[in-house]
Amino acid sequence: MSNLILLIILWSFLECAYKKIPIYEEFITGVKEGMHYLMILFPSLMLLTLWVNLFLSSGFISLIGTFFIRFFSIPLDLLLMAFTRPISSQTSLIILKRIYDYYGIDHLYSLMGSILQTGSDTTLYVVSLYYGSIHLKKYSYTLWLGFFLDFLSFVFMLCFYYLGMIS
């Protein structure tokens, strides 16, 4: 793979040399454009990062988790996945991998985690990145719809579990 990347870079340099394109000036222009987009997106991504860290370190998950474990009798990792998926895709993938490693990929809880991972989306990331990049302030309907669909994937996961539709 690294050889392929090196070949693409070499090909780009040779093509630029053949067409007499000033590589350094084009690179500087691209960096300036990238910095412009970075300055547009940075505040919303910084806020999202701060919110994720506050949410995960607050202890809210363990507080809610004790109630849900007694009520639904599912592992805490699935509940943790349901809470973190709207915030961070990477965190929920790490939790799903932990479920796969502990139970195996064909276990019922692994299938439930897969349903939750594929049925929901990173709602807060989508809203902060996309709406922040175009400076749109009216995102409340998108946010509520995203959270509703994330909740719906959790409900479907529980329905599949209790109705015996996955095994």
Note whether residue 150 is domain-resident: yes
Residue 166 has pLDDT above 90, yes or no: no
Mean pLDDT of the chain: 84
Number of structural domains, the chain?
A: 1
Write down the pLDDT at residue 167.
Answer: 63
Note whether residue 53 is domain-resident: yes
Write down the pLDDT at residue 102.
Answer: 93
Note the pLDDT tens digit of each residue in 91-124.
Answer: 888 889 999 999 999 998 999 999 999 888 888 8
Better-scored residue on pLDDT, 5 or 68: 5
Note the pLDDT tens digit of each residue in 58-89.
Answer: 887 777 777 777 787 788 888 888 888 888 78
Note whether residue 124 is domain-resident: yes
Evaluated on CA atoms 91, 66, 102, 149, the torsion sign reads negative
Domain that holds residue 132: 36-162
Buried b / exposed e over 138-152, threshold 16 CB at 10 Å, is: eeeeebeebeeebee
Note whether residue 10 is domain-resident: no
Note whether residue 5 is domain-resident: no
